[in-house]
Amino acid sequence: MTDLPIQAPAHQAIYRRWRAQTFAQVVGQEAVVETLRNAVRTERVAHAILFVGPRGTGKTSLARILAKAINCTNLQDGDPCDTCPSCVAIREGRAMDLLEIDAASNRGIDAIRDLRERINYAPTDLRRKVYILDEAHQITKDAWNALLKSLEEPPDFVVFMFASTHPQEFPPAILSRLQRFDVRRLTTDEIEGKLRRILEGDGRTATPEAIHLIARLAAGGMRDAESMLDQLLSSSSDKLDDARVRDLLGLADAETVGAFVDALVASDARSGMRLLDGLEERGRDLRGFLDQVIELLRAAIIGAPPAPGMAGAGPMPHSITELAAAARRLASIDPSRAGVGGLRLQLELALFPDPSLAPRLAATAAPAPTALPRREPAAPVAPAPPVAPAPPVAEAYPAAPAEAAPAARSKPRPVVRPADDATMVQVPAPAADPPSSVAPAPATGDLAVLRDRWPEIVARISLHPPTKPLIVACRPISVEDGIVTLGFPEDKAFLRQVAERRRTVLEENVSAVLGRSVAVRCVATNIDVVPDLPSDAEAAWVLAEARRIFETDEGNPAEVG
């Protein structure tokens, strides 16, 4: 079995433990692997190589394996042995002659400048010096100029390997000097296969549905799939099923998605709203729900019968015409307008039949009085400019309130009312177009303030179990023009996606702590700045901090929820 993980501490992330160490262990990418093995076999490896492909598909893993192969003293038909001193030194990250540079970081740019000074020194512990430059499209113009000379006339013992998601940003003079390999997204089957091997290797079990769902959600990125699996396995020792996957990602169950599509097609606003109520009560996130509904609609359209009423339609006996009309209504929804309640209103409006309402809807959707979060009274909210000419919401939404109210049985939640002007101006602008409509740009030093108050923010958001893993995994990166940017480690990119969908909770709490309305933006960073999870001591402190905050905040206990 070539696929055993390297022995490593149990807490080490799955994607590190199960990273491919030889060409034979690489999943997918057959063409690239075969070409590279051939080049190694015939000793015709180029001096400058570029790996291109989406994030999390194994570009740097391939670069490391190739670095091993050109230094291995015991090659196995073009594949590194992974046991000779060179292979082991590279695998353990202590080979002096393998330098990995993250071009996205300041340190990386400095390293590229240094590189020119040192490039002519002979290797010390490997046969060939290898420079792996990750995120290489971020290399600055000056640094490229510094590199160009080295790329033109590299010493015989030097190999450059670039990895990038955006090769089109390379200077053409550089691009033309690189041998390019395109790494593709993995198929769902390929991802499932590896997840099954990981589960088996780690002695864990999961239902086929859970594995399939993770593989699909990873959208071709093995690293996303692996970190999702990691998160799921570490949160419980039970058998992993698809319900847990949906819980972690805040996804709705298939029945609800199907029922909502039915309601859309039938323009059955009452049922649709009841479903939305149920989702919100279970803490499901509407942005993810919209994705699910669109995905199901797309699948249904592809597999739908060509004309109304044809037999054999299966669970969703809708015609293409009906499905397309429903899809068109969803198409006008702008989820990024969902800052506060906007998405809920947009979904509700989509349940009504008249497609001519759609364009107006996108322009007016954001403010809905009902969806206003329980906001701390103290938090000042910047006035947003009027979103649209006065009353179109009321016009566009004639019968809803009266009909919908009895439907929402569970609690007397006013479903949707035409927003009056006063409500509209109180709503903070959605995150999508913050510069024009969020609170005025803060004074300098805001990042320092944010870092200072960060533990309090973590404590608040940690009280809300579904968002806890998000907040402990990220760090504040910048505050600019009322936008707080949170960085997530690259290997936890799926958490960033979840955070993106649950931005409302993050925004509410960050705004509450900072005492002013801010938008939150989530980005992935490729640097290991973030510890996996808080240590016990840190966790205990967070808990204590949370108690302190919420014991003095009895009047408003639901703030986080």
Q: Nearest 10 degrees: CA dihedral of 20, 26, 27, 31? A: 160
Q: Which two tokens stand for residue 505?
A: 């909770």
> In whole angstroms, how close is the CB of 78 to Zn ion at the nearest point?
12
Determine how many CB atoms are found less than 10 A away from the CB of residue 380: 11
Min CB(76)–Zn ion separation in Å? 8
Q: How many residues does the chain have?
A: 561
Nearer Cβ to Zn ion (80/373) = 80
> CA torsion sign, 429 to 431 to 433 to 435?
positive
Choice between 38 and 74, CB closer to Zn ion:
74
| 23 Cβ neighbours under 8 A, 6+ residues apart | 33, 36, 37, 65, 69, 78, 79, 80
Judged by CB, which is closer to Zn ion: 50, or 65?
Answer: 65
Closest distance of CB 82 from Zn ion, Å = 6
Minimum Å gap between C-beta 71 and Zn ion is 7
Nearer CB in complex with Zn ion: 40/248: 40
What's the maximum distance between 2 C-alpha atoms anywhere in the chain? 81
Nearest CB to Zn ion, comparing residues 92 and 153: 92
- CB of 127 or CB of 298, closer to Zn ion: 127
* Contact status, residue 397 vs residue 418, Cβ threshold 8 Å: yes
* Closest CB 138 distance from Zn ion, rounded Å: 32
How does DSSP classify residue 182? E
Smaller CB separation from Zn ion, 126 or 361: 126
Binding residues (CB under 5 A) for Zn ion: these are 72, 74, 80-81, 84, 87
User: Least separation, in Å, of the C-beta of 80 and Zn ion?
Assistant: 5
Of 340, 323, 250, residue with least CA distance to 291? 250
Choice between 69 and 560, CB closer to Zn ion: 69
CA gyration radius, the chain: 27
CB of 62 to Zn ion, least distance (A): 16
Q: Could you write out the DSSP letters of every residue in 213-231?
A: HHHHHTTT-HHHHHHHHHH
Counting Cβ atoms within 10 Å, is residue 445 exposed (0-12), middle (13-18) or buried (19+)? exposed
- Cα 403 to chain centroid distance, Å, stands at 38
Q: How far is the CB of 86 from Zn ion (least distance, A)?
A: 6
- On whether the CB atoms of residues 47 and 17 are closer than 8 A, the answer is no
Cβ atoms of 65 and 22 closer than 8 Å: yes
The CB-of-22 to Zn ion minimum distance in angstroms stands at 9
User: Is residue 91 helix, strand or coil?
Assistant: helix
In the three-class reduction of DSSP (H, G, I as helix; E, B as strand; rest coil), residue 489 is classed as: strand
Q: 84 or 316: whose CB is closer to Zn ion? A: 84
